[in-house]
Amino acid sequence: MVPKRDDVRPPPGPVGAAGSHDEPATLHDTHVVLLDGDRVLLRPLKAADAALYPDFLNDVTTDDLRLRFFAPMRALSPEMVDKLTHYDPAHAMAFIAIEENSGRMLGVVRLHDDNSGKNGEFAILVRSQLKGHGLGWMLMKHMIAYAKEKGLENVRGQVLAENSTMLTMCAELGFHVADDPDEKGVRLVTLPLAEVPALVH
Ligand SMILES: CC(C)(COP(=O)(O)OP(=O)(O)OC[C@H]1O[C@@H](n2cnc3c(N)ncnc32)[C@H](O)[C@@H]1OP(=O)(O)O)[C@@H](O)C(=O)NCCC(=O)NCCS
């Protein structure tokens, strides 16, 4: 059972203690501007953000849910939202994007360590009507910068072969793309963080 915590800052470890000088900069509030000039706050996802999910999910199509979760689904259950918003910050991190004008949730990216603790597996979802405004790119770069600061070796993800937007974006971000030998119709994308400059913002 993943412990419920409001504070998602990681404990002391490779990424440094909360408040210490070596805490990853990506854990602080980060302000970005989308291609349309919309101002967006990126910060770690908190348990209280579950309240923002219903409005967010109202604007996520069933097709985008399928691209994200690899299964047909009309909606996310409250239990699923609860699980997504309660994670162990020692082994996982999630960043939420919030529109500064309205306080609306615009997207989320997450990164879960594998058993070795050397690699992180990401997943990302952006409000469907906002696709193409540059938010996915910014969330990915923020997550990659966090992974780099944390000292992970690789960021990995599974992407449906039909998901050309995501595969193109991953290739542009430097990911290596290969067929998943275990799952037909799925691509594995891998970014060796040694190939990424320290500052990707
Ligand atoms: C895939 C997804 C995350 C992309 O997010 P998005 O906000 O629509 O993407 P962006 O607008 O940031 O990027 C779209 C395009 O702009 C490019 N781009 C955006 N900002 C850029 C920048 N600053 N510099 C260079 N290129 C940029 C991207 O590479 C991409 O290029 P392309 O059109 O040439 O392929 C989003 O469509 C989504 O949530 N899909 C459903 C869920 C999903 O598929 N998740 C992935 C599997 S986990």
Question: Could you tell me which residue, 127 or 24, shows the higher pLDDT?
Answer: 127
Closest-CA residue, ligand 1 atom 14, reads 132
pLDDT of amino acid 10: 37
Give the span between the Cα atoms of 34 and 121, in whole angstroms.
25
In angstroms, the CA 25 to CA 7 distance is 16
Report residue 2's pLDDT band, with 50, 70 and 90 as the boundaries: very low
Residue 187 backbone phi and psi in degrees, to 5: -110, 145
What's the rounded Cα separation, in Å, for the pair 146 and 152?
Answer: 9
- Buried/exposed 41-78: b ≥16 CB within 10 Å, e otherwise: ebbbbbeebbebbeebbeebeeebbebbeeeeeeebee
pLDDT tens for each residue of 38-79: 999 999 999 999 999 999 999 999 999 999 999 998 889 999
- Check if the beta carbon of residue 42 is closer than 8 Å to that of residue 97: yes
Q: Does 201 have pLDDT greater than 80?
A: no
Task: End-to-end CA distance of the chain: give it in Å, rounded.
Answer: 34
What pLDDT sits at residue 18?
Answer: 39
How many Cβ atoms from other residues are within 10 Å of residue 145's Cβ?
A: 21
- Residue list, ligand 1 pocket, CB within 6 Å: 64, 67-68, 123-126, 131-137, 157, 159, 163, 165-166, 168-169, 172
Is pLDDT above 60 for 159? yes
Quick one: average pLDDT of 162-182? 97
Ligand 1 atom closest to Cα of residue 173: 29
Please tell me the distance between residue 115's alpha carbon and the centre of ligand 1 in angstroms: 29
Which pLDDT value is given to residue 15?
34
Mean pLDDT of the chain: 89
Q: Looking at residue 151, what is its pLDDT?
A: 95
Q: What is the number of the ligand 1 atom nearest to the C-alpha of 127?
A: 39
Question: How many A from CA of 144 to the centre of ligand 1?
Answer: 15
DSSP 112-169: EE-TTSSEEEEEEEE-GGGTTSSHHHHHHHHHHHHHHHHT-SEEEEEEETT-HHHHHH
Averaged pLDDT for residues 149-167: 97
If pLDDT is split at 50, 70 and 90, which confidence band does 22 have?
low
138 within 8 A of 32, measured Cβ to Cβ: yes
pLDDT in tens, 74-100: 889 999 999 999 999 999 999 999 999
Among 61, 63, 105, 137, the mutation site with the greatest number of ligand 1 atoms within 8 A of its Cβ is 137
Confidence of residue 23 (pLDDT cuts 50, 70, 90): confident
Closest ligand 1 atom number to CA of residue 137: 12
The stretch 10-23 carries a mean pLDDT of 43
Residue 139 has a pLDDT of 98
Per-residue pLDDT tens digits for 134-151? 999 999 999 999 999 999
DSSP assignment of 68-99: HHSS--S---HHHHHHHH---TTTEEEEEEEE
- Looking at residue 8, its pLDDT comes to 37
How far does residue 127's CA lie from ligand 1's centre (Å)? 12
